[in-house]
Amino acid sequence: MRWLTLWTTLVVACFGLTCAAALYDTRQDATRAARDATVNLSRVVADGIGRDIELVDLSLQSMLNGLRIADVENLDAESRHRLLFDGVPEIRGVGTLVVLDAEGSMVTDSKLVAGRGLNFAYRDYFRVHRDAADVGMFISRPFFSEMAKLWSIAVSRRVTQPDGSFGGVVVGTLRVAYLENMFRQLDLGANGAIILLRRDGTVMARYPSIQGALGSRLADTELFSQYPAAELGSYHAASSADGIARLHAYTAVDEHPLVVVVGLADLDIYQSWRSKAWAIGLLTVLLCTATWVLVRQLRREFSRRLAAERSALRNEARYRVLAENSADIIAISRVDGVVTYISPAIKDVLGWAPQEIEGHSLHDFVRADYLPLVPGKTQAWPRVLTFPACHADASWIWLEASVRQLPAEMGDERYILNIRDVSRRKKVEEALEAENAQLLAMAATDGLTNLANRRSFDEVLEREWRRAARDDEPLALLLIDVDHFKALNDHYGHQQGDQYLRAIAQLIKSCIRRPGDTAARYGGEEFAVLLPNTDIDGAFLLAEKIRNATQAARIPHLQSELGVMTLSIGVEAMVPHGSLVAAALVRRADTALYTAKRQGRNRTCPYDPGQQAMPRRA
């Protein structure tokens, strides 16, 4: 019987060792699967939050562009409201967009044209922008909004005046309830948790929610021993809020000071494993009573292993279902750009079937001037790319792709791309750019003559003066006055006078050939022509050309001695040096113009230092 005892002991010992190894292995498998799940969930959530913040920031920048437009302060409230908010799209989860002045008082918001009479100077986002000019986009601590009666997170940018001073703040709010609802839709198990933290440890949103957690700080947790040094990672720790031990994975939200932490509880991760452990323990006890139980229990263990593998396959299928039912396109490519997988959403966006894309290079469907999309290892990751892609009907569709490098353990170097259709946003951006360009052009043009206005002329004069001083080149100025224009207005009427001014403006413009020359309406019936790199002789010849062209046009003027419109022109050219300023060039040309009028009009006079200046009319 001894041999039987030894044989039984040996069999039981071997079985016990085998079972212990199997239990450890399955526990490690469960741990790895849970870690991969938490890492992937944290990435997906971080990408979604990053896109929401980017959309809010685009809206804020659109508002800032509107505020920079000249004369915006002179617009009525309704026009200003349309300028600031008509081009801003509706964004899910985003509350009211607000403009605050330098004192923190609400100027206007996206819901109401008139201000609400509220002051937010005490908010952290206002103080930060007021005290520093280089903050850029700022994400505030969560606060309870008096307007929306909800917990919100502010995304803000500073309004800087043309002189560099603080002009206020533009603010957009992201509702905390929207983030918590997004977290609620994730399958985290019975005891899982997901938290959005700011870099200083402030709790921005949490699910499941805990009373008093919003706005509190968790800076002493295990997370901050790794973050922000590493933007992606995992750790195991017990929650200070509810005491539950969890396996956590975290992902930083793009370049923002935010991090998403997803935690799966040990109770949920190892629930299946604990059942196996109890079963195997029972099998070990039963083995001591009969050998045939060993065979049965081994078969049962193999069945359980198969079930675990099937569970892993189901999890993989579940993630594939998420990808294939997402409105965004999910794609995986090799390092050479060849697509190994693409979700069915490609059919709705570009009209191609997945099998028509898979096995081909991404570059075959992207316009040539936007290649390559994934050029190599020197690029920073993740990357956000905007590019036109070829539709099945041969048209071009604007897409935006968030490109990330997959971990090395995924095998051959591959990239995962989250792609969405941004054609509508691209059209809005192009329309806004065109409108801004048109407004800037209108602000620099005289409405009557279509020449540069006085303000634009002054800016060009200062710029060309500095360049002439730097290059040691002459800068010439013609000041042109329409002779007897007051008498013309009295005789023909102001409307006819305006027509004559337009005609003279066209004559001046037709005499100017060089791209760098500038013609402007200087005021009333006076015009100015600025000529870079032109000496006094060249300026005099051009002035005479303009004067002769005007007289040759035979524009009727019965109150003039010649019966036609004539011009008096003052000419001066200077090489800037020393303490001379641009105003000196204007004074000298004005003195020369006065001399031309005093000598009988209809003539061109260069500046003579012996001439006396004529006081300018108000």
Tell me how crowded residue 278 is: count the other CB atoms within 10 A of its CB. Answer: 10
**Rounded CA gap, 157 and 64, in Å?**
8
Displacement of CA 596 from its chain's centroid (Å): 56
Q: Using CA atoms in the order 342, 344, 349, 353, what is the torsion angle rounded to 10 degrees?
A: 80
Query: How does DSSP classify residue 327?
Result: S
**Rounded CA gap, 84 and 99, in Å?**
9
Check if 180 is active-site: no
Three-state helix/strand/coil letters over 387-399: EEEECCCCCEEEE
**Rounded CA gap, 483 and 603, in Å?**
10
Per annotation, catalytic residue among 525, 526, 544, 561: 525
Q: Tell me the three state secondary structure of residue 556.
A: strand
**Rounded CA gap, 445 and 521, in Å?**
9
**CA–CA distances in Å: residue 281 to residues 9, 18, 107, 121, 233:** 16, 12, 72, 66, 35
- Whether the Cβ atoms of residue 151 and residue 143 lie closer than 8 Å to each other: yes
**Rounded CA gap, 274 and 270, in Å?**
6
- Whether the Cβ atoms of residue 283 and residue 297 lie closer than 8 Å to each other: yes
**Read out DSSP for 77-138?**
HHHHHHHHHTTPPP-TTEEEEEEE-TTSBEEEESS-SS--S-B-TTSHHHHHHHH-S---SE
Tell me how crowded residue 377 is: count the other CB atoms within 10 A of its CB. Answer: 9
Determine if the peptide bond prior to 515 is cis (ω within 30°): no
Phi, psi of 213, rounded to the nearest 5 degrees:
-75, -35
In the beta sheet, which residues pair with residue 390? 396
Residue with tokens 């469907």: 365
**Rounded CA gap, 258 and 189, in Å?**
24
> Within 13 Å, how many C-alpha atoms sit on residue 497's CB side?
17
Q: Kindly list the catalytic residues.
A: 525
